[in-house]
Structure 1
Amino acid sequence: MSIFNKENFSYYLKKRGLAESTIRKNAVQAHNRIFNELGISFYELEDLSSIQTLYKDVKVLEGLMEKNPNRFYSSAVANYLKFVASFSEREIFSTEMVYEQEVEVVEIKEETIEIKPVKVSREVILNGRKTYYRNPKIAKMALNYHDFSCQIDKHHKTFISKATQRNYVEAHHLIPISYQGLFDYGIDTVSNILSLCPNCHRKIHFSTANEQKEMLHFLFQKQVTDLLNTGIEITEKELYELYL
């Protein structure tokens, strides 16, 4: 039996603090309406690109419906995409050290960085699960763009990297790459990649909810203009939901 089913999706929503009535709307009512209208069960979709396509189709379907404040179908698909993406994000984090090493040694040309919309990255298989490719060159460009300093506090010094001869920092996608399906433009872009010292990088992953919120608030305010300039629209509340 697939782990992507009504019971596990409902449990995921419950952990996020949603009310029982909202859980039923997402996991049952919206699913059944979408199945009746489009003949697609989102519980049969496990790859992120297929769920993104369904999300767009449902948005079109909603546009054809009479105005109704209780419509929540695209929201349900978005929540299901977050549910599936959360599993991909775990796989990504398990290979984080490899990615950081790739970023550390990759060579880039010194060039002016344009903050503009980019294409969505290609899909890749990571530990048997589909996710989106993270280009180490783009991450290295982001670290260079932020002058190899920690964006939480530029006074966070670590050590001099033998590869870059600069202060050692790590690349972190503010909007995790697994949630690419929620956006029309690529999120593997300099505007969405943070430069963090190792301690702050671990803190944004493993600290308490309050500390995470504090960090995300600070970083969101720093990045929101660049995100909008690259076509990436997200509210601070929506960003919290991808972490908490």
Structure 2
Amino acid sequence: MDGNRQTGTNYTLKDYFINYLLKIRGISQSSANHYVGALQTTISRYLMEKKLVSQSIFEITDLDRLVQYEEILMHDADFLALNQRGNRMYSVALHRYMGFVQGEWFRQSTDPQDEIKKLDTPILVKAYYQTTVQQYKRSGIIKKQVTEAALYRCEANPDHQTFIVNHTSHPYMEGHHVIPLKKQKNFSYSLDVYANVVCLCPVCHRLLHYGRPEDKERILTKFYDERGERLARSGIEVSRADFLGLTEGNV
């Protein structure tokens, strides 16, 4: 558990999960509220009692940890008894959430990136880690989903090839925040959102951090043209000039 993190009540994955239930699964608002309530209260309380989270299941941004915690819950006698008394409401809510974070909903689509675009929404800024510097929390799950939805192709240049990762059998790619999280104080809404994360090959990723300004501007202009409207839908409204100014110094 991240014991030194300043926590808040807003979590990116929680907001995206609600949008997923409403827009992808077609579930009613009342049913979505029941699922989120079960996760935020009872399930989170069980994880807090086991000292696995500080406040909520939605604060977990690593998929492997979530899978591990699901396994713990589904083998906990007290939780299973409560779930039985509640007509399996808690296990169903957990199953829905795991289905969301594991990404099968966009992986089966003919256009995975279009599915993710449906969830674009302004998300209030999350809390940051309190260490020697202030560092905003980022979600490994969002980066993983963006990389999968891009079909493991570099979004700067889809022709770029990398090596195949042994344990996934997919090309190695990296998630990158186009507007860096260090610029978060310039915005009221979170920069750790789908619209601001791109899938890049390692060479293009390093280029955007350390390349010549003219080479970076070419790629960044492409990203702004492709994602400007999505950024605005996510509460990140910037002109092209401001966007380039915020991103070209991304080190």
- TM-score interval (norm. to shorter): 0.5 to 0.7
Q: How far apart are the structure 1 equivalents of 2:64 and 2:161?
A: 20
Gaps of 5+ in 2: 1-60, 68-100, 107-115
Q: How far apart are the structure 1 equivalents of 2:63 and 2:209?
A: 20
| Deviation of the 1:208 alpha carbon | 1.1
Contact 1:103-1:139 at 8 Å conserved across structures: no
The correspondence of residues 111-190 of structure 1 with structure 2, limited to 5 A, is 111-112=105-106, 113=116, 114-125=119-130, 128-190=132-194
Contact 1:124-1:131 at 8 Å conserved across structures: yes
Match of 1:223 among 216, 221, 227: 227
| Deviation of the 1:149 alpha carbon | 0.9
Tell me the amino acid that sits aligned with residue 143 of structure 1.
T
- The CA deviation string for residues 101-160 of structure 1, in whole angstroms up to 9 with x for no partner, is x9797874123531222221211135x100210111111111122221100111111011
* TM, length-normalised to structure 2: 0.52
| Deviation of the 1:225 alpha carbon | 1.8
Secondary structure in 2 matching 1:160: coil
Tell me the amino acid that sits aligned with residue 125 of structure 2.
V
Tell me the amino acid that sits aligned with residue 109 of structure 1.
Q
Fraction of identical pairs, as percent: 26
Tell me the amino acid that sits aligned with residue 128 of structure 2.
E
Q: How far apart are the structure 2 equivalents of 1:121 and 1:178?
A: 13
Counterpart position of 1:109? 102
Q: How far apart are the structure 2 equivalents of 1:216 and 1:146?
A: 17
Inter-CA distance 236–105: structure 2 relative to 1 (3 Å threshold): farther
Secondary structure in 2 matching 1:195: strand
Gaps of 5+ in 1: 1-101
Inter-CA distance 209–136: structure 2 relative to 1 (3 Å threshold): same
- The CA deviation string for residues 209-244 of structure 1, in whole angstroms up to 9 with x for no partner, is 111111111111111121112111011211222224
Q: How far apart are the structure 2 equivalents of 1:164 and 1:232?
A: 33
Q: How far apart are the structure 2 equivalents of 1:211 and 1:223?
A: 19
* 1:200 aligned onto 2:204: yes
Secondary structure in 1 matching 2:102: coil
- The CA deviation string for residues 11-52 of structure 1, in whole angstroms up to 9 with x for no partner, is xxxxxxxxxxxxxxxxxxxxxxxxxxxxxxxxxxxxxxxxxx
Contact 1:124-1:130 at 8 Å conserved across structures: yes
Question: What RMSD over aligned residues (CA atoms) do the two structures have, in Å?
Answer: 2.2
Inter-CA distance 233–140: structure 2 relative to 1 (3 Å threshold): same
Q: How far apart are the structure 2 equivalents of 1:225 and 1:198?
A: 26
Q: How far apart are the structure 1 equivalents of 2:224 and 2:166?
A: 31
Secondary structure in 1 matching 2:235: coil
Secondary structure in 1 matching 2:209: helix
Inter-CA distance 105–221: structure 2 relative to 1 (3 Å threshold): farther
* 1:234 aligned onto 2:238: yes
- The CA deviation string for residues 46-86 of structure 1, in whole angstroms up to 9 with x for no partner, is xxxxxxxxxxxxxxxxxxxxxxxxxxxxxxxxxxxxxxxxx
Contact 1:213-1:240 at 8 Å conserved across structures: yes
Range that drifts further, 201-210 or 111-120: 111-120
Q: How far apart are the structure 2 equivalents of 1:240 and 1:168?
A: 27
